[in-house]
Chains A and B, each alone.
Chain A
Amino acid sequence: MTFKPITTAALIAGTALSPLPAFAGPDAIKVGLLMDMTGNYSDVAGQGSVTAAEMAVEDFGGTVLGKPIEVVHADMQNKVDIATSIAREWFDVEAVDAIVDSNMSSAGLAVSEIAVEKDRLMIMNISGSPRFTNESCNPNTIHYVYDTYALATSTGKAVVRGGGDKWFFVTVDYTFGHDFQAQAEDAVASEGGETIGSVLVPLNAGDYSSALIQAQSSDANVIAFATAGADTSNAIKQAAEFGIGQGDDRQLAGLLVYINEIDALGLETAQGMLLTSAFYWDLDEETRAFSNRYMEKMGKMPNMSQAGVYSSTMHYLKAVEAAGTEDHAAVMAKMKEMPINDFFVKDGYIREDGRMMRDMYLFRVKSPDQSTGPWDYYEKVATISADDAFTPVSESRCYLLKEQN
């Protein structure tokens, strides 16, 4: 096509004339975060994630390979087009080396593809779509904290092992919920439990009473919510209202619950509920040390994705240092080669498909009596090993793992 030479010239001109400020030359190492800063997800990600990345840079010392490290962030307003156009700008004009988080799985997947096109790195911390390390896996992307497969599998296995073997699902009625439930059902069955019923609820339904009544009239001993966000909050709140899971022989299990949601619900409402998380601030000395520093800056404790931003940014910077170059392929190779040991993860490693392999924890939400104060919410019930939690290599749909086999 004859357009090509003109295009190239124009593109160069475009870059040169771009009115967007290029703060530092290419002589800086830059990490970027595409966050929902003011919308629905601003609590679970937003400024908290940006702060975590900044803390990592500060703790690393502010420079690597003799170059300053910079954190840039943008409010993607939950719009895929904004996220992708900023990602392009960052890569082309501002020489951002790695994007270390993006809200919304659709935006994240699109940004991940741009990272491949521009040969940069992408680390996903907030989104849980299993696609990142399956159908859409690529050599430039790392999925760091969790995915819905791991949450469903860990919760399913650990709860059955703890005696909860008859499951009833309350599932949000679209792909996300259907997949979530299917994964959990498999895990429950693999441990000898059974699914005795399920009910679909529409997204943003608000009222869960009819689903809860159906769950209550079954003889399930575990009622699991394959939902997210506000839906989970409403379902938990109304379960408490119906007296389910509090003082009877049923347990509630939330498949995807952030600590911010428990904080917003209050312990009186959420007590007794089971959930899986990759991180809790009050696990040991190290987690407390980081979290208290974070608390001083943000006024709240970090959740698993925010802690993950810190850990993954730190791991990235260490890999740059170890590789002795900015070259993205070399850095990625180092990231996959080096084990990860910090407050966030012990003996973690990044698999060839980009999946960070780590243990997951099953928590039970404390009752108001058990809690000593704000953010003292969880009690650890079980640990699920990385191999137990995440998609095994044999089931992976990622071409990178297939090549390896």
Chain B
Amino acid sequence: MEIFGASPQLILGQVLIGLINGSFYALLSLGLAIIFGLLRVINFAHGALYMMGAFAAWMTQAWLGLNFWAALIIAPLAVGLFGLLVERAFLRSIYHLDHLYGLLLTFGIALMVEGMYRYWFGAAGKPFTAPDAFRGIWDLGFVIVPKYRGFVVLTSLVTCLAVWLLIERTRLGAYLRAATENPDLVSCFGINVSLLTASAYVLGAALAGLSGVLAAPIYQVTPLMGTNLIIVVFAVVVTGGMGSLSGAIITGYGMGVIEGLTKVFYPAASSVVIFVVMALMLLLRPAGLFGKEA
């Protein structure tokens, strides 16, 4: 049986592969949504933070001699710490301005960070391979999946769920959400809003860092690995709307699958399909799939 000239096996395989790419989209757009929710800043530096995560993983291996699992913990923390510095040093003093300034500032930070990394580590990047436990492949019959990619999907799902629970179901999350709605009121209750904002940026940055570590064994670790990705993730975010965290997550996975299927049916369009979906969404539902903004 064939569907438009492609076997069901192939399609199922591509859906699975799409989910893997979607894992990265989901983690990154979740981070963007958290940051936007509290800071009203579109974090253009998100791609650079993702790249920093991948390089941090390489550094933990090459400089500290530690293994992948250590990198999985250390790298997001390191990127989170960098995020804290950025928030305290720069972002904090522009919250009162037009939101476009946040975009411009983080764009500048991205250019600078990527430029510095290229200067230090070279444009071709650094080697990084999956941990021994995840070398090799699973042959599922209809598709071959490298074991490591299975791990990526799982980690991404668990992380997304955990972050969602943290924000939607805990007291800390309640503060965060309240501060998103009305920061002045929340600070009246004696809650340190400035600390909340900082932690939101750190959390978003750490998620980007985590995606970077996860990506390091799959994609070549180069200073520009996040540059093209961030534009795609922006399109994902626009399509989903930044109203809800679950929306960001679901759209991330969904877009990964759509992109994967395009690669089978019409490869020539696979570079633009996400942008086309975004354009269609703007025509049908300008606020985005899960968006609240009118």
B-contact bits for A34-58, CB 8 A (1 contact / 0 none): 0000111111100000000000000
In the complex, chain B residues whose CB is within 8 Å of the CB of A391: none
Task: Assess whether B268 is in contact with A213, with CB atoms less than 8 Å apart.
Answer: no
Judging by beta carbons under 8 Å apart, are B124 and A263 in contact?
Answer: yes
- Chain B residues contacting A110 (CB-CB under 8 Å) are none
B125 touches A242 (CB 8 A): no
Q: Once the chains are docked, how many angstroms separate the CA of A238 from the CA of B129?
A: 10
Q: Quick one: closest B residue to A209, CB to CB? A: B17
Known: A173-B267, A209-B17. A242 touches B146 (CB 8 A): yes
Tell me which of B13, B124, B271 contacts A213 (CB under 8 A). B13
Interface flags, B132-152, vs A, CB<8A=1, else 0 = 000011000001101011000
- How far apart are the CA atoms of A41 and B267 in the complex, in Å? 27
Interface size on A, residues (CB 8 A): 40
Task: Give A264 to B122 CA distance when docked, in angstroms.
Answer: 9
Chain A residue nearest in CB terms to B139: A243
Which residues of A lie under 8 Å from residue B148 when comparing CB positions?
Answer: 241
Which residues of chain B come closer than 8 Å to A200, judged between CB atoms? 267-268
A303 to chain B, nearest CB (A): 10
Q: Which residue from chain B places its CB closest to the CB of A266 in the assembled complex?
A: B127
Residues of A with C-beta under 8 A to B264: 210
Closest chain-B Cβ to A270's Cβ sits at a distance in Å of 9
The reply to whether A264 and B125 form a contact with Cβ atoms under 8 Å apart is yes
Question: Contact at A264–B118, with CB atoms within 8 Å?
Answer: no
- The reply to whether B260 and A268 contact each other, CB–CB distance below 8 Å, is no
Interface string of A376-388 (1 = CB under 8 A from B): 0000000000000
A203 and B13: CB pair below 8 A? Answer: no
A203→B229 CA distance, assembly (Å): 12
**Cβ–Cβ contact A266 & B129, under 8 A:** yes
- Nearest chain B residue, comparing its CB with the CB of A235: B220
Q: Closest CB-CB distance, A378 to chain B, in whole Å?
A: 16
A38 contacts across to B, CB distance below 8 A? 115, 118-119
Report the contact-size class of chain B (Cβ under 8 Å from the partner): 35 or more
B129 touches A43 (CB 8 A): no
Is the pair B130, A241 in contact by a Cβ cutoff of 8 Å?
A: yes
Contacts of B127 in A (CB 8 A): 264-266, 268-269
B214: chain A residues within 8 A (beta carbon): none
Which chain A residue lies CB-closest to B271? A202
Q: Which of A210, A234, A241, A258 contacts B263 (CB 8 A)?
A: A210
| Contact B146–A237 (Cβ < 8 Å) | no
Most buried by B among A200, A202, A204, A241: A241
Judge whether B217 and A40 touch: CB under 8 Å: no
Residues of B close to A26: CB separation below 8 A: none
Beta-carbon contact of A241 and B122 below 8 Å = no
Complex-state Cα separation, A213 to B271, whole angstroms: 18
Out of B124, B143, B229, name the residue touching A206 (CB < 8 Å). Answer: B229
A280 CA to B14 CA in the complex, in Å? 39
Cross-chain contact B224 with A40 (CB below 8 angstroms): yes
Bound form: Cα–Cα A266–B143 in Å: 27
Partner of B270, one of A205, A238, A268: A205
Contacting residues, chain B, for A44 (C-beta < 8 A): 124
Most buried by A among B14, B220, B229: B220
A residues in contact with B143, CB < 8 Å:
213
Q: Are A213 and B17 in contact (CB under 8 A)?
A: yes
Beyond the given pairs A173-B268, A210-B13, A237-B220, 12 more chain A to chain B contacts, judged by CB atoms under 8 angstroms and listed by A's residue number, are A200-B267, A209-B17, A210-B14, A210-B260, A210-B263, A213-B144, A241-B149, A243-B137, A258-B124, A261-B124, A266-B129, A268-B127
| A-B CB contact pairs (8 Å), 7 listed | A39-B123, A42-B122, A200-B267, A201-B263, A207-B20, A210-B263, A266-B128
A-to-B contact residues, CB < 8 Å: 38-44, 173, 199-207, 209-211, 213, 216, 230, 233-234, 237-238, 240-243, 258, 260-261, 263-266, 268-269
What 6 A-B pairs have minimum CB-CB distances, sorted nearest first? Answer: A266-B127, A202-B271, A264-B124, A233-B220, A210-B263, A241-B146
